[in-house]
Structure 1
């Protein structure tokens, strides 16, 4: 996906103009017309916190590419991956002297931007047929 299109999409998610379709962990997720237009099951949400983090990461990657002298207009997202990180432990104090864990769920985000290469035009069929050798 091109970088400018991804940034526009995430800004629309923050403004509740486009929903992100939930296809895998979607039990209990409500249906919305915005998600129905993008995916068949129609379930979607607007994850503001997650979209904000990824939007900040995209802006940071864009400025890094600009410093390195890359063409910002031809950048596209070639790889993005989110993995679970180690949980951070805190504790919450309960009644009758009990203590329960209070865990956070952080993540690692991998992002790779690449420059779009110029496409090479295919030769006409007449030139391809003349180059073939007889076996």
Structure 2
């Protein structure tokens, strides 16, 4: 390449700046999260779109770890994959069997959605890496927000005997999650004992006598 020639990257940058100047949207756009009140500087985010896994199972898996500490959520999803812990099925519990592992969540119906757990586990690790890049304390992270949305359904067909056709349905989903640092626990102040007047003292005495 001659010294007078520009590298190919310069042409891409100039084209992008020209598109922005004339009003055309650039190819790289920022995605919008459902939780808009969380400070971006103190949080780490991750999302996946059009994931080929069950929406209902993924929704229940996400709700099970919502609000948990990151370390506990990672351990739980690993246990779900190994069938050591189960995901409680609360909203989408149709045709779900009962298991004793659901007692930990106060339910009788639970499942082990391995594929959903693997997708959520990968996104949690991605968000953890983003938090480490931002300089956040990865040992003090909590799952502040996690949401699963339905993606467009996919339809396929399979050809059976005697001219029959059966559907092959797919219900993919979108997942978004936000990790934030946990707030420091503040010790509750001791209650101040107020002095009772004579009327209040008499009422308390009569109440004690009646209770006895």
Which category describes the TM-score, using the shorter chain as reference length?
Answer: 0.7 to 0.9
2:79 paired with 1:31: no
| Per-residue deviation, 1:52 | 0.7
Higher strand share: 1
Q: Residues 80-110 of structure 1, C-alpha deviation per residue, up to 9 Å, x if partnerless? A: 1101011234444566777665442111111
Root mean square deviation of aligned Cα: 2.4
Unaligned stretches of 5+ in structure 2? 1-67, 195-212
Whole-angstrom CA distance in 2 between matches of 1:44 and 1:122: 37
Higher relative contact order (CA 8 A, sep 6+): 2
The one of 134, 143, 146 equivalent to 1:77 is 143
Unaligned stretches of 5+ in structure 1? 130-135
Between Structure 1 and Structure 2, whose CA radius of gyration is higher? 2
TM-score, length-scaled by structure 1: 0.78
Matched with 1:5 is 72
The one of 93, 101, 110 equivalent to 2:176 is 110
Whole-angstrom CA distance in 1 between matches of 2:167 and 2:111: 28
Runs of 4+ in 1 over 6 A off after TM superposition: 95-100
TM-score, length-scaled by structure 2: 0.52
Q: Residues 121 and 111 from structure 1, CA distance in 2 versus in 1: closer, same or farther, beyond 3 angstroms?
A: same
2:118 paired with 1:52: yes
Q: Residues 61-84 of structure 1, C-alpha deviation per residue, up to 9 Å, x if partnerless? A: 101111111100111001111010
Whole-angstrom CA distance in 1 between matches of 2:119 and 2:182: 25
